[in-house]
């Protein structure tokens, strides 16, 4: 069908829509996968932080136990208790040193024995824990001091930072894991830091121990979400791309469908591309113009003038034929009404109507509107119904034809002789005219059988008192034959081809 005007812009738009319908699922899927990856990483840091807190608490339990056992000894002379202090260091795997305190003063140390150092409880987070960069013995190894006090008595046990950073390293693996005590913190490389802790950019979490005064911070370095996706999701990516391709293909097919003939015709209807052409119908005897048949043309912006048999079947199929005919009738009324003064007696205006237009009573309104454009008696509106597509006699159609006749609208059976309407049918619908199909006219003087049929039709119409119109009259011989046989009206190229409205009105004035 040479009707699809595929302009470059349209094709461009279609390509964009196809690309979008292909990309959209990929992008959406990508976003969902990204969110899923972030969730997975978040869960992973949560688990890691929980595990780290658990491990640190276990280590601190061990360290705190040493301090608890030593606390009752605080106040006794250092010489008497220093062995007990060393025993704790030896017995407990994580304890590096122990100290006894009296009145905020360290007076006895597992390492030095008698020793003097003032301490301030305020340095300790919740009076309990202090993370230090090092001590005079090992200035570069961080250590964690656990302090226990009761009245003036106090005991302290220290934990080597090595154990702590070990835990951070082993549990953390790919996660950035930090131990924070008060304002100080320790990283997995064993380094001691002071000041505000920088939150990790990806899946950050901070978890506070419910039992000791420390916190664990976990997270991932920048770009980890993408790295995770590229290592874990390749099969899902392939699936996404597959879906994208399927969706793009569906988008493409749907658009192709939407630019189907009926959509194209809907567009054409909206931009008034369907226009009426007029072919004169003449009196059989005088050959003066008795009327015209309105024939639809598609004034296509790309294809030029399109013949009705190329698009009417699609219009019927899509139901667009009804609004198209309505538009044609309005245009016809607008064109012919101003020229009505040049009509010599009632002018026949034939409009082709399809069966689908007769399903309800809308046609009555369309005809009423059409007739109201003309002075009463100026025209005869003739609806042409093709014999190939006969109307079912139902309650509605009977009502329709009654109302049409009441309005003065006439009915013609088009292409008569090619279908199989019975006499009963002709009576039932109160038919006024028969239009002899042009195939019979073309056979005049050529084929004896066709001429026989033609003669019978003419005879029949006379018996039924029906007007008769012969279509497709191209030669004088045909015209003479038909006139001699009493055919009332003739239509064909011999008298005039279908022509645009302005040309028709011009010609009408000259007749
Ligand atoms: P139709 O109703 O039988 O219309 C007569 C067709 O014969 C017209 O073709 C006309 O141009 C053509 N014709 C007229 N005189 C001659 C002639 O001397 N020799 C030859 N060979 N052909 C002649 P057209 O305009 O191409 O229309 C074709 C068909 O399309 C029409 O056949 C009609 O069935 C349909 N049609 C046209 N306009 C409409 C419309 O508005 N509504 C509907 N439903 N159908 C329409
Ligand atoms: Ca017709
Ligand atoms: Ca015909």
What pLDDT was estimated at residue 335? 95
Is residue 261 very low, low, confident or very high in pLDDT (cuts 50, 70, 90)? Answer: confident
How many angstroms separate the CA atoms of 450 and 123, rounded?
121
pLDDT at 193: 92
Pocket test for ligand 1, best of 471, 482, 490, 497 (most atoms within 8 A of CB): 471
Alpha helices, DSSP H only, in 319-443? 321-336, 362-371, 395-407, 423-428, 438-442
Nearest atom in ligand 1 to the alpha carbon of residue 296 is: 38
Residues with CB under 6 A from ligand 1: 279, 295-296, 307-309, 312, 321, 325, 328, 352, 354, 384, 386, 414-415, 438, 471-474, 491-493, 498
CATH among 3.20.20.80, 3.40.109.10, 3.20.20.450, 3.40.50.300 for 261-509: 3.20.20.450
- Residue 452: both structure tokens together: 């026989």
Look at the block and give the residue holding tokens 């949560």: 46
Q: Would you state the pLDDT for residue 6?
A: 47
**Residue 157: its pLDDT value, please?**
96
Q: What is the pLDDT of residue 473?
A: 97
Residue pointed to by tokens 């012969």? 470
**pLDDT digit string (tens) for 401-455?**
999 999 999 999 999 988 877 777 788 888 999 999 999 999 898 888 888 888 9
pLDDT, tens only, 76-97:
999 999 999 999 999 998 999 9
Domain with CATH 3.20.20.450 in the chain: 261-509
pLDDT tens, 468-487? 999 999 999 999 999 999 99
Give nearest CA residue, ligand 1 atom 43: 352
The helix (run of H) or strand (run of E) holding residue 56 is helix 8-70
Confidence of residue 172 (pLDDT cuts 50, 70, 90): confident
Ligand nearest to the CA of 279: 1
Q: Reduced to 3 states, what is the DSSP secondary structure of residue 477?
A: helix
What atom of ligand 1 comes closest to residue 295's alpha carbon?
38
pLDDT of the residue at 253: 86
- Mean pLDDT of the region 116-144: 91
- Between CA 150 and CA 74 the distance in angstroms is 10
pLDDT band at 119 (very low <50, low <70, confident <90, very high): very high
CATH numeric code, 14-224? 3.30.450
pLDDT of residue 372: 96
Q: Could you give the angle at which helices 308-318 and 321-336 cross, rounded to 10 degrees?
A: 120
β-bridge partners, 145: 130, 158
Cα–Cα–Cα angle for 37, 42, 44, nearest 5°? 95
Looking at residue 92, the DSSP 8-state letter turns out to be S
pLDDT for the residue numbered 3: 44
pLDDT, residue 391, reads 83
> What's the farthest any 2 CA atoms get from each other in the chain?
152
Distant-in-sequence, close-in-space partners of 313: CB < 8 Å, separation ≥ 6: none
Q: Do residues 116 and 104 lie in contact, with contact meaning Cβ atoms separated by under 8 Å?
A: no
- Mean pLDDT, range 2-27, rounded to an integer: 76
- Torsion angle of C-alpha atoms 240, 246, 250, 252, degrees rounded to 10: 90
Write down the pTM of the prediction: 0.60
Which residues, in sequence order, are CB contacts of 385 under 8 Å at separation 6+?
Answer: 353, 354, 355, 358, 391, 411, 412, 413, 414
Is the pLDDT score of 312 beyond 80? yes
Which protein residue has the closest C-alpha to ligand 1 atom 12? Answer: 472
Return the closest-CA partner of residue 237 out of 467, 29, 473. 29
Given the structure tokens 């042009």, which residue do they identify?
A: 438
pLDDT for the residue numbered 329: 97
Predicted confidence band at 254 (pLDDT cuts at 50, 70, 90)?
confident
Dihedral pair phi/psi, residue 344, rounded to 5°: -105, 95
């Amino acid at each position: 069908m040479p009707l699809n005007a595929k302009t470059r812009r349209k094709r461009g738009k279609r390509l964009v829509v196809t690309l979008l319908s292909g990309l959209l699922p990929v992008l959406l899927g990508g976003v969902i996968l990204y969110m899923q990856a972030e969730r997975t990483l978040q869960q992973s840091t949560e688990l890691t932080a929980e595990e780290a807190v658990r491990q640190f608490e276990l280590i601190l339990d061990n360290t705190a136990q040493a301090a608890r056992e030593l606390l009752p000894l605080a106040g006794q002379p250092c010489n008497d208790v220093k062995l007990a202090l060393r025993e704790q260091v030896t017995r407990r795997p994580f304890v590096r040193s122990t100290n006894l305190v009296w009145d905020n003063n360290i007076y006895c140390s597992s390492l030095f024995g008698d020793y003097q150092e003032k301490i301030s409880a305020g340095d300790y987070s919740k009076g309990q824990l202090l993370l230090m960069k090092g001590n005079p013995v090992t200035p570069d190894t961080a250590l964690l001091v656990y302090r226990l006090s009761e009245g003036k008595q106090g005991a302290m046990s220290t934990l080597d930072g090595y154990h702590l950073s070990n835990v951070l390293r082993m549990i953390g693996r790919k996660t950035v894991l930090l131990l924070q005590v008060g304002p100080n913190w320790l990283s997995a490389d064993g380094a001691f830091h002071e000041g505000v802790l920088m939150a990790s950019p990806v899946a950050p979490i901070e978890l506070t121990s419910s039992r000791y005064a420390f916190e664990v911070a976990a997270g991932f370095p920048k770009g980890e979400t993408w790295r995770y996706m590229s290592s874990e999701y390749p099969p899902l990516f392939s699936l996404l791309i597959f879906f994208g391709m399927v969706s793009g293909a569906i988008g493409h097919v749907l658009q192709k469908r939407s630019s189907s003939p009926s959509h194209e015709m809907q567009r054409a209807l909206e931009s008034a591309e369907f226009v009426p052409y007029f072919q004169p119908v003449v009196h059989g005897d005088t050959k003066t113009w008795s009327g015209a048949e309105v024939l639809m043309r598609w004034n296509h912006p790309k294809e030029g003038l399109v013949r009705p048999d190329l698009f009417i079947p699609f219009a019927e199929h899509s139901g667009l034929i009804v609004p198209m005919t309505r538009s044609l009738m309005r245009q016809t009324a607008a064109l012919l009404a101003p020229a009505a003064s040049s009509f010599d007696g009632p002018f026949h205006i034939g409009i082709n109507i399809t069966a689908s237009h007769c399903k309800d009573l809308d046609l009555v309104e369309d005809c009423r509107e059409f007739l109201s454009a003309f002075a009463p008696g100026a025209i005869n509106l003739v609806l042409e119904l093709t014999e190939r597509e006969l109307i079912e006699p139902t309650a509605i159609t009977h009502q329709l034809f009654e109302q049409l006749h009441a309005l003065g609208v006439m009915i013609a059976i088009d292409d008569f002789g090619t279908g199989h309407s019975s006499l009963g049918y002709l009576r039932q619908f109160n038919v006024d005219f028969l239009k002899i199909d042009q195939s019979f006219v073309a056979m005049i003087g050529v084929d004896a059988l066709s001429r026989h049929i033609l003669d019978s039709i003419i005879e029949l119409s006379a018996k039924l008192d029906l007007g008769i119109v012969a279509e497709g009259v191209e030669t004088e011989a045909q015209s003479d034959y038909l006139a001699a046989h009493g055919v009332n009206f003739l239509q064909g190229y011999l008298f005039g081809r279908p022509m645009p409205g302005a040309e028709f009105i011009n010609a009408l004035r000259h007749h």
